[in-house]
Structure 1
Amino acid sequence: MSDQIETISTPLGIINGRDAIYLDKVEELFSPHCLSFSGEFNSALCSDTNDEENFISYQIIFEEILIFDCQHLDYCKYEVELLSNFDKVNSSSWMKSFNVPAEYIHYRFATYDYLYQIISKRYKLILEESGK
């Protein structure tokens, strides 16, 4: 069975577009093992906002990560398999290749420059309007 990609709807809706997610900081924490991203979403590229271009600060934390990968978006072989900037991969061949337990989820998070693939148990999204 091949990868089945599904968009993730956030409180801002579906996030989609090369300029949709700006990344300022990535932090890997080890106790517990988490990966934290912070930056800004371009609200004009979020499906459930009525704003013109406004920037909304975010922090997204992927919790209990097992594996992650980062590739520059211009050179990434997975770009054709993205439905949005934040997707979930069901029946993930990548997870199967590592024999990952079923309670983990394969996420794809595409920022302006990079595609992160993350296998973790869950994520938490924190939003704050920045008014840029």
Structure 2
Amino acid sequence: MEKALAVNTCLGILKGRDCIYLDEVKQDDANNLTFKGGINGHLISVHQDVQEWFTYTLTFRQVVAYFCCELETYTNYLGGKFQYVSSFDVIEESHLLKSLLLSDDLNKGIYRHYRLFTYDEVFNIIAASYEFKTDS
């Protein structure tokens, strides 16, 4: 069964609809997917309330697939039956990961399924790794 686990960033756990705002998404020719925007300083578990907003850059490396859906549409699509843990999760035992990857890649454990909730959208990303940077 799928299980969502919160990703612990340098700002701790990011949680809440108003936590992650997205200004820019960029895909490059090396299969990297980069998100830039702001993080609400009141909705993080480390350095909470130190500053109102943090700028961030989140880059996923070796992306093999990603899907974006408007937040309310995503909730309706899943019938409200998804496990919301935080605004940035890694999904263990991912059905999406298993359906997309060849068994050799899946068995090597190279790729992971990440889910990112921004204010307006939900991104499901299959990638080898990620890098999270902020102005903290």
Whether the TM-score (by the shorter chain) exceeds 0.5 is yes
- Say whether residues 1:28 and 2:35 are aligned partners: no
Tell me which amino acid in the other structure corresponds to 1:41: I
Q: Distance in 1 between matches of 2:48 and 2:23?
A: 24
State the Cα RMSD in Å: 1.5
Residue deviations 1:81-100, cap 9 Å, x none?
Answer: 22110000011111111135
Residues 3, 83 of structure 2: 8 Å contact kept: no
For structure 2, the residue ranges without an aligned partner over 5 or more in a row are: none
Aligned to 2:89: 87
Normalized per residue, the structure richer in strand is 1
Show the counterpart of 2:17.
18
2 CA distance for matches of 1:111 and 1:99? 26
Tell me the secondary structure at the aligned position of residue 45 of structure 1: coil
Q: Which residue of 2 aligns with 1:105?
A: 112
How many percent identity over aligned positions?
Answer: 31
Structure 1 equivalent of residue 58 of structure 2 = 60
Match of 2:73 in 1: 75
Distance 1:21 1:112 in 2: 6
Partner of 1:46: 44
Which SS does the other structure have where 2:27 is aligned? strand
* Consecutive unaligned residues in structure 1, runs of 5 or more: none
Q: TM-score, normalised by structure 1?
A: 0.90
CA offset digits 1:21-67 (Å, max 9, x no partner): 0000000111x111000000001000112316600000000000000
CA distance in 2: counterparts of 1:67 and 1:6, whole angstroms: 20
CA distance in 1, matches of 2:132, 2:34: 10
CA distance in 2, matches of 1:115, 1:10: 18
Q: 1:68-117, CA deviations, whole angstroms, 9 ceiling, x for partnerless residues?
A: 00000011035632211000001111111113522101000110000000
Task: Report the counterpart of residue 121 of structure 1 in structure 2.
Answer: 128
